[in-house]
Structure 1
Amino acid sequence: MTHIKTCCESIARSGFGTLQISDAMLQDYRKIVHGYSAISQATKASFSFVQDTDGFFPFGAEYSLSEEHPDLCERFCYWPVHASKRTAFEFIRSDFFSAVDTFERQISELAQELMDGICAEFGVPPLASMRLASYMQLCVYDAQAASSDRRFAQDPHEDGHLLSFIKPNREGLVLVRGGSLEPVRLLESEVAVLAGSLLTELSDYAIPAAYHAVLTPRKPVARSSLIYFVNPCPDQVLTGFCRRQAINLNRTVNARHTSFGNQPIQLL
């Protein structure tokens, strides 16, 4: 598709691009964002698996720079690799979870196609399936976050992944370019795609990681952002895009993951 190739070229050049999603994905996205508020605290408490970074996490459980400066949101994370361990929970039969599962399957296909295209830009072989090493995350910023005296609801940072697909329902996402902040504005059918530090390393520093942040709103308003974090398959021997030398990112993947306050990745 033309928009896939255009996005690949943009990421290879600048570390940032935008991508269109289907109407079906957009409908699932809306179900996820709008359905979160109906989930009870009891369900959130019971469907939380800290060791797997899976399920629900309370306000302030993750941070971008330091533990003393947490992100001003609560989270829901979904790893398909852990889905078989959750079959006893009634929550997985909810409309919300069904929308999450369907959206993840579709975004993972887009991610694979996009990563294959980026590899083609550099003339290297495509990566093995990344789905079981990757995960979705919904960040929900309460309207009261506006009362904070912080400039950022999420501090400036680069994601520790290959790619991050980000779809917020309100403004606030900004790219940090030097001393300036560049608002990310998306059409309803678009998702932002940001290169992470893993892709910078895999490309032998040819692709810059997209440094970004979330601004604290000036007025009390709730905000949600659905994100898909793409990690490489831990079993694949990777080759640097420019030097063409073998590179092992497994240790780096976990170092980046834990640096945000998460537990080490436990893949089946």
Structure 2
Amino acid sequence: MSPTGTTTAELLHEGRCTVPLSRPAAAALDDVYAEAQRFFSQAEDVKLAHGSADFNFGYRPYGRQYSVTPDRPDENASFTYWAGDPATVPQHRAPTVTGFLRALHTYWEVVTETAETVLADLAGHYGRTEPLPFRTSSYLEINWYLPDSERDLLQDRHEDGHLFTLATSDGPGLELEIDGQMCTCNREPGTLLVMPGSVLTAMTDRQIPPLYHQVRNYHLPRRTTVLLLVNPPLDRPVAPYAGDPEGFDAASLARHSGSMFGLPPAPVLDAVDRP
């Protein structure tokens, strides 16, 4: 487990690390799992009413996202909660989604504190005076896996295409690429896995490679993943932590990384970072 001040060292040395899940975060996470079950158990037309036309916000049905090729969609539906703002979700005041959004917002408030700690450690390591603002450009993603899939992999090998992901799940299946081999993730209980993405790789002049991973099918009756996907600001230039800043554009990388999964460009929300 990585105490404060060592996450960057572990990312550089191991390519991944874990951070403690605080008691408030653990309690909020339990509520997210419970409310996710209620939300995703509703009729498809009810859930679709809470998704945007471009599938950036709220509910994203099965078949809209893939890890490698469109003919092998990820075996899950998703829900995205951007920037800690429930108003980004269509019909966010409807009773069919308010409980879920309350749980997501509570978890957002505590898990973004963990992201702030990771970013502060990166800033300190690379001689930055302030950590990157991230809240208006980042989002929670809840993945609800199909219980009846017959595929060996519920998600194919991929990296997330962000700065990093804070990941946890209520069931086994995650496999990480370590020394060229896919290995079962043995994350300690009560922790979040920090998975670097290709934007962080670019920001560190390839010092921290992206963590490739996949999800194996254990034929569980239920599997839910809760992710905080952390981006740099999307509305202005961001200098890299290391390497030549000439022509570097982290915002463009982050905005368009979803195209490799069949997703539209990431939205630019408010210019002022939310607290």
Which residue of 132, 141, 149 corresponds with 1:128?
132
Q: Indicate the structure whose relative CO is greater, using CA pairs within 8 Å and at least 6 residues apart.
A: 1
Aligned residue in 1 for 2:234? 234
Alignment partner of 1:4: what SS?
coil
Question: Which deviates more, 91-100 or 131-140?
Answer: 91-100
Return the offset for 1:252: 1.5
Could you tell me how far 1:142 is from its partner in structure 2? 2.2
For the Cα contact (< 8 Å) 1:50–1:263, is it kept in 2?
no
Match of 2:103 among 99, 102, 106: 99
1:71-112 deviation per Cα after TM superposition (whole angstroms, max 9, x unaligned): 001111101265335576224873321110111122122112
Unaligned ranges ≥5, structure 2: 270-275
Question: Aligned-residue CA RMSD in angstroms?
Answer: 2.2
Distance 1:178 1:228 in 2: 25
Q: Which residue of 2 aligns with 1:79?
A: 82
Aligned counterpart for 2:122 among listed residues 118, 125, 129: 118
Q: What SS does the corresponding residue of 2:263 show, helix, strand or coil?
A: coil
TM-score after normalising by structure 1: 0.90
Give the AA of the match of 1:137. Answer: E
Q: 2:67 aligns with which of 61, 64, 67?
A: 64
Runs of 5+ unmatched residues, structure 1: none
Q: Please say if 1:11 is aligned against 2:11.
A: yes
Inter-partner Cα distance in structure 2 for 1:84 and 1:72: 27
How much has 1:175 moved relative to structure 2?
0.6
Alpha-carbon distance between aligned partners in 2 of 1:171 and 1:93, rounded to the nearest angstrom = 27
User: What's 2:212 paired with?
Assistant: 211
Q: Which residue of 2 aligns with 1:137?
A: 141
Distance 1:93 1:51 in 2: 19
* Deviations, residues 128-150 of structure 1 (Å, cap 9, x unaligned): 310000000000112212xx1x3
More moved, 153-162 vs 174-183: 174-183
User: What number of residue pairs does the alignment pair up?
Assistant: 264
CA contact (8 A) 2:166 2:228 kept: yes
Q: What is the alpha-carbon distance in structure 2 between the residues aligned to residue 191 and residue 70 of structure 1? A: 26
More helix by share: 1
**Percent identity (aligned):** 22
Q: Distance in 2 between matches of 1:239 and 1:131?
A: 18
Mapping for residues 247-262 of structure 1, pairs under 5 Å: 247-262=248-263
Residue of structure 1 equivalent to 2:94:
90
Q: Quick one: distance in 1 between partners of 2:55 and 2:181?
A: 36
Matches of 2:220 and 2:19 in 1, distance apart? 30
Q: Deviation at 1:177?
A: 2.6
Which secondary structure does the structure 2 equivalent of 1:29 belong to?
A: helix
Give the match's secondary structure for 2:148. Answer: helix
Distance 1:23 1:13 in 2: 28
Q: Counterpart amino acid of 2:231? A: N
TM-score, with length taken from structure 2: 0.87
Q: 1:169 is matched with which residue?
A: 170
Counterpart check, 1:29 vs 2:29: yes
Offset from partner CA, 1:115-162 (integer Å, 9 cap, x none): 1201222223434310000000000112212xx1x3311000111000
Contact 1:161–1:198 at 8 Å: present in 2 too? yes
Runs of 4+, deviation exceeding 6 Å? none
Kept after mapping to 1: 8 A contact 2:57/2:88: no
Q: Which amino acid aligns with 2:145?
A: Y
2:50–2:97 contact (8 Å) kept in structure 1:
no
Say if 1:261 and 1:50 are closer, same or farther in 2 by CA, change over 3 A: farther
Asked whether the 8 Å contact 1:51–1:266 carries over to 2, the reply is no
Query: Following TM superposition, by how much is the alpha carbon of 1:232 offset from its aligned partner in structure 2, in angstroms?
Result: 0.4
